[in-house]
Amino acid sequence: MQRFSAFHPLASFLYFVSALCVTMFSRNIVIAALSLAGAMLFYAVLGLRGGIWLYFIIFILTALSNPLFSHNGVTVLFFLNGNQITLEAVIYGVYLGMMIMAVLMWFSCYNDVITSDKFLCLFGSVMPKAALIISMALRLVPSFISEGKEMLEIHSALLPSGKSAIKRIKRYAAVFSCLITRSLEGAAERSDSMRARGYGKGKRVSYSRFRFKASDAIMIAVSLLWIVFMFFFGGAMEFNYYPEADPLKFNAAYIIAAAYFILPSLINLWGELKWRYLASRI
């Protein structure tokens, strides 16, 4: 039972927007680390597994590339091919890697929670055509991947290619060609179906199964108050790396940020425990 997904789309959307804004616009390495920890925890609670290795590769490449190309800073660690490697550049590279990895993982969690019907619920009445196009575009990549795996399995079962690299390349090319053809045919069929049902004619009405509750209002209020606090009153958004990195000092905003970043995971875990308790009483 994923309780966080049961919130109104507006409440869930505002949470992700606030978490991403603070993560992207904060220069504080502690905030980036807390955001990454919260994103990784929520990523695991949602049961997402694929692509985690890619995030770590991006983190490692970012953390290593910054001190190789940026030689600012006053604390020289060693010299590499005549270029100084500074502690400040290493710290800034680690911060950039954590920030990018956290943003990518938050977006992965967003794609799992904010489904296409929730996106249409949020923006369907404001910008119906754009919302429909964005929703279809977001759905295109997952469906393209799942259909490709299905076609590849069928093709491998009918025509085993063995270990020949040329035959495998031909098989992938044939599957890719079939995918493109199937996508074009599906787009034409959807277009004809929408035209036959009168899409775009007359006043558009939409149905939404989502109901705004008191818990949604509380979540929205918490998200808005938190982002205002972090940007204007927390004093934890700025952190200087050059020419010398600022010393790490305790700030109460770190505790508030940590609690906010792990909030969806706690909500989901509470929903799971409540579900198991109620199921045990049946």
pLDDT digits (tens, 9 = 90+) for 34-50: 999 999 999 999 888 77
DSSP the chain: --GGGGS-HHHHHHHHHHHHHHHHH---HHHHHHHHHHHHHHHHHTT--TTHHHHHHHHHHHHHHHHHH----S-EEEEETTEEEEHHHHHHHHHHHHHHHHHHHHHHHHHHHS-HHHHHHHHTTTSHHHHHHHHHHHHHHHHHHHHHHHHHHHHHHHS--TT-HHHHHHHHHHHHHHHHHHHHHHHHHHHHHHHHTTTTSS-----------HHHHHHHHHHHHHHHIIIIIS--S----SSSPPPP---HHHHHHHHHHTHHHHHHHHHHHHHHHHHHT-
pLDDT level of residue 222 (50, 70, 90 thresholds): very high
* pTM value surpassing 0.85: no
